[in-house]
Structures are given as structure tokens and as C-alpha cells.
Chains A and B, each alone.
Chain A
Amino acid sequence: MALSIEDIKKIAHLARIEVSESDAAATLTKLTGILGLIEQMQAVDTKGIAPMSHSQDVVQRLREDVVTKTNQREAFQKVAPVLGNGSTDQAVDSGLYLVPKVIE
């Protein structure tokens, strides 16, 4: 499967990673190499083999439905990023984590 520079830009946007024009070409070469490897693997006959969703053949352990977490808001807010013109005081007062304005 051949990738284009446009694909690289789209993937970078979806991952919210900034990729400059000059880096895009190098990334294209690397990703194309990885896809080549996958193509090679896909050529292996896997008929009759169940797809694997995890590298270990074990199943999920379950947790009892009991509250174990206590309110640590104060500690968490201390390490929260303060963005733009938002002040720590405002965040603490409202109890909210502040982010740049999002309007749908």
C-alpha cells in the first residue's frame, strides 16, 4: 500500500502531532517501510488461526464493585496545567479543570 504526503498530513492531524514539510517526507519513507513489513506478514497463511487480541493467553480479571477511591481533587488540581489566562484560583474555586474555550 502506497502512502502519499497527504496521508501523512492527515494521520499527523488525527494524532494532533505537528509534522513539518521537511519531516513529512522522512516520515513517509519510515511509515511506508512499516507498511511493507505488514504486507510481508499478511502474506503468511493464517487460515484456521483465531485472531489474537492480546499477546498473553490470559483473560481479564474483574474488580468487585466497591468504592476504593477517595476525593483527591485538591492534590490533582495542584498539578493540573494552567492554560492561557486561566488562574489557579479560578480553577480551585469552581472545582473545574480549565481549558481553552470549546464551543460546539
Chain B
Amino acid sequence: MEWEVVIGLETHTQLQTKTKIFSGASTAFGSEPNTQACEVSLAFPGVLPVLNKEAVNCAIKFGLAVNAQITPRSVFARKNYFYPDLPKGYQISQYELPVVGKGMITIQVPAVGKNPAYEKVVNITRAHLEEDAGKSVHGAVEGMSGIDLNRAGTPLLEIVTEPDMRSAAEAVAYAKKLHELVQWIGICDGNMQEGSFRCDVNVSVRPKGTDKLGTRREIKNLNSFKFMQQAIEFETRWQIETLEDGGTISQATVLFNPDTGETRAMRSKEEANDYRYFPDPDLLPLEITEADKDRVRAQMPELPEAMKARFEADFGLTSYDAASLTSSLDLANYFVATVHAGADAKPAANWVMGAVSAKLNAEEKSIAQSPLTAVQLASLIKRIMDNTISNNAAKQVFEALWNGEGGVDAIIEAKGLKQVSDTGAIEAIIDEVLAANAAMVEEFKAGKEKAFNALVGQAMKASKGKANPAQVNEMLKKKLGA
């Protein structure tokens, strides 16, 4: 039987606010335990939550970015459960009326083997505001668990998709796209190591061609795209094998072990979760007006989809190139600055996605940390465009620029990379080459096309790589009467 995997994601994005969602305590990462745990974070009797305006702005930004309905009056609810890192005994979340309703995100799924790349729309079910819990620390004090409540109350936007994805590749493409988007609109720093972007993945399988969803298992807390891919692939195989062996899948929460590459069900609780949601009487409905949306919209950068379309239309870039360049706002701005400084768009795109990105990756730097400015890159590209240097020489200039060896023209001068475009000089070189390689000339005349390329090679070598290759080609053709 052929099986189909069905995947939906729930992503917790930590919002980039200075303070917690319901109190004025700092959200800075990495402080001494409990130094940012105020009386609200600790759930002292009588404290009341007061909603952070910036957290609401972040939710509106996300809603606008995914073309979602933004709920005019959304409601906060209490999700009740007991755990030491949740001193109130409930998490303030949203249930029936989340701040962001149905929306959509277009993802680019990369080519795998013979399967070409394609685009797909993933539907967003909802996104709601909620508070994060604290952290349990084991082993700090013998025989006890320690609780650090610095993180308690940090604002989160939980983004939930429809079960629209049909492969691990699609799920990862969605997660990456979402990761890019929340950083682009400035609502989340995207730091997965620090837990600012955590994904729960719901996986089920069903016979291909059927409509009924299979029983799902939820893989919790994936904090890297690589692990997500591995976890989904393992989980999918496990579910298919279980069903083919005549077994059944029961709903469960599973954890991924990166060391073994396996997923494993958490100890099943005797009692199924029963969160007994109800509206939080401490909080009034959150009203978001058209004016609020307009105000937030005015603060937002051009969205990646719009910018991608503009790059395709204005610069004639391919969809793939335009998508790559709009993977982060900094990268897109760098490209635009390069073009504005006088470089042609196509070579600018190639350099930014090629040499510049490769260097940044190798040195684990972001584009904002690039030692090569957009203006420098543009002057390098201009020297290729006006035939001052060849593409090969440009690579050397690029290295030198990267290492801070001076300006483009100074480097070209110092390294003697200037291309020879002087007709007389090139003609002299070619005459020399023809005289010295009479045998090759004969071969060419006898019909061996390869001999021509060999002669071009000889001429380039004689010029120490500085001759303009196009001119060499042309003149050689003329001389040989080809």
C-alpha cells in the first residue's frame, strides 16, 4: 500500500519585547536565576496581569504579514495544569477567540533529486498570544529540583497551521519560511539555541487517496531544522511500519533523541490532559481597531513576497534568485544597496548569493557582519562590467577586499590584474602564439575544433591571464579566417 504523511505545525515564537507579556519585568536572556522574576511571574496573591502593548503589536504584525483575519475582540483564557515551573497553576493563553485567525504562507520547497522545486500555500489556522513558563533546573541542589522563573511570563505567539504538509521537506520549508518571516517583520529574534523559535510537529499517516486523517503523534520541542527533518522521517517510517505490521497508532506526545535519531513516546500520563480552559476574569477583551492595524502596518517593512515579486519584475531575476535574496531583510537590503551603488542586478544577485554568502557561511557571519560593504561590492562589479578586470581576476580582488586590503582600484593596481583590452597588445600576443604553435594551427585548419580552444588558452597564458578573453577569441577567429 502507498502511504501519505500528513503534517501540521505549532510554533512557539518568543516575541521581541523588552518586558514580559503581563508585567514590567525584563525578558533579557541569560540573567542570574530569578533576578527577573517579579511578583507577577511568581504568582503572588493579589497580583494582576497588565497586557504589554508591544506584544499585541507583534501579533498584529504577524496577522498582517500572513493576510489573516485579525480578531476585533479577542479573549484571554486560563489553561489549567500543575507543574512547578508554572506557579499560578494556569497559563494565560487564548482559546476560543485568538488574536489572529485564518491566514496563509507561501512556501518554496527545494528540489530533491529528480523532483523539481515547487511552491505551495500552507494555511494558518490561528495564532494566539500566551505566556511562557519558567524552567526547571535539575542537579543544582541535591535531591531537589530548582525553579528559575526568569522566563515565566515571556510573551509568545503560538502559530498553528492546518495539516497541509505532505512531507518532511514541506514541513521544514514551512518552518524555515516562518523563521525568516518572523525575523523579517521584527517580532522574533529567531534564535533557536536560546529557544526563541520552537516547533511541535503533528504527524499522522493514511493510505494515499483517502480523506480521513490518521491518528497523530506530536513531536515536541524541535529546535533545529535538521532535527525536524530527521524526526519526521523517523516518525513517518515508524507509523507506517507499525500499521503494516497490523498494529495501531495511539495519540501520544513523543520526543526526538538527536543522538539515536529516534522518536520515543513520553511516559503516558494516567490522565489525559484536561486543561479546563475558561476566560480569564483578570483580563478584559483585547480590542484591535482598524486604526490600530493601520498604525502597525505603517511601521512594517515591505513584505518578502512583495519584494520578491518586485525583484522579478524590476530586475528580471528568476523566482528562485528572488526568493533567495528575500530570505532575510538584511540580505535583501544588501542586494538593493549594491544595485543602487551602480552594479547591474544580475551580477549583483550572483555575487551576493554566491561568493558573499559562501564566505559568510564559512565564517559563520550574518550579512550584517560582512567585512565587504555593498558599495565595495558594487565597485568590484562595475570593474567587471567596464572590462577593467576579468571574472577570474575579480575573484582575487574579492578575496583581497574581504581581507581588508584596500579599495577595489588600489587592489587591481597593486596585484596587476588590469585586463588588457588594447587591440595592438592583444594582436602582438596572438601573433606570437600562432608562430610558436604552428602544429595546433594546422590541426585547427584540418578541422579539429578543440585546437582553437587550446590556442585561446595559450594566448591567455601568454598574457598572464590579463587579456580580455572575448577580444582574444574574436581576434583569433579573424586571424585564422574561421
A interface residues with partner B (beta carbon < 8 Å) = 10, 13-14, 16, 53-54, 56, 58-69, 71-73, 76-77, 83-86, 90-91, 94-104
Is B19 a contact partner of A101 (Cβ separation < 8 A)? no
A53, A77, A99: the one within 8 Å of B75 (CB): A53
> Does B208 sit at the interface, judged by CB under 8 A?
no
A16, A56, A67, A98: the one within 8 Å of B141 (CB): A98
Is A76 a contact partner of B146 (Cβ separation < 8 A)? no
> Does B434 sit at the interface, judged by CB under 8 A?
no
Is A94 a contact partner of B24 (Cβ separation < 8 A)? no
Is A94 a contact partner of B33 (Cβ separation < 8 A)? yes
Is A54 a contact partner of B281 (Cβ separation < 8 A)? yes
Chain B residues with Cβ below 8 Å from A72 are 38-39
Within 8 A of A (CB), among B62-97: 73, 75, 80, 82-84, 89, 97
Q: A66-B24, A67-B26, A69-B26 are in contact. Are A98 and B146 (CB under 8 A)?
A: yes
Chain A residues with Cβ below 8 Å from B149 are 97
Secondary structure type dominating chain B contacts: loop
Is A99 a contact partner of B145 (Cβ separation < 8 A)? yes
Chain A residues with Cβ below 8 Å from B147 are 96-99
Closest 7 pairs between A and B when the two form their complex, measured CB to CB: A96-B146, A68-B24, A65-B54, A95-B33, A62-B53, A59-B287, A69-B38
Is A53 a contact partner of B285 (Cβ separation < 8 A)? yes
Of the listed residues A54, A62, A66, A76, the one surrounded by the most CB atoms of chain B closer than 10 A to its CB is A62
| Nearest CB on B from A10, distance (A) | 7
Q: How far is the CA of A13 from the CA of B75 in the complex (A)?
A: 27
Which of B271-279, B318-326, B453-461 contacts its partner? B271-279
B50, B136, B284: the one within 8 Å of A59 (CB): B284
Q: A59-B287, A84-B144, A98-B145 are in contact. Are A73 and B51 (CB under 8 A)?
A: no
Chain A residues with Cβ below 8 Å from B421 are none
Contact indicator per residue, chain B 363-395, by CB within 8 Å of chain A (1) or not (0): 000000000000000000000000000000000
Chain B residues with Cβ below 8 Å from A104 are 266-267
Q: A59-B284, A67-B19 are in contact. Are A73 and B141 (CB under 8 A)?
A: no
Is A63 a contact partner of B146 (Cβ separation < 8 A)? no
Chain A residues with Cβ below 8 Å from B281 are 54
B25, B51, B73: the one within 8 Å of A62 (CB): B51
> Does B35 sit at the interface, judged by CB under 8 A?
yes
| Nearest CB on A from B301, distance (A) | 20
Is A76 a contact partner of B75 (Cβ separation < 8 A)? no
Is B148 a contact partner of A96 (Cβ separation < 8 A)? yes
Residue of B with least CB distance to A94: B140
> Does B183 sit at the interface, judged by CB under 8 A?
no
Q: How far is the CA of A69 from the CA of B73 in the complex (A)?
A: 29
Is A102 a contact partner of B283 (Cβ separation < 8 A)? no
| Nearest CB on A from B58, distance (A) | 10
Is B146 a contact partner of A64 (Cβ separation < 8 A)? no
Q: How far is the CA of A86 from the CA of B147 in the complex (A)?
A: 13
Chain A residues with Cβ below 8 Å from B137 are 94, 96
Is B51 a contact partner of A96 (Cβ separation < 8 A)? no
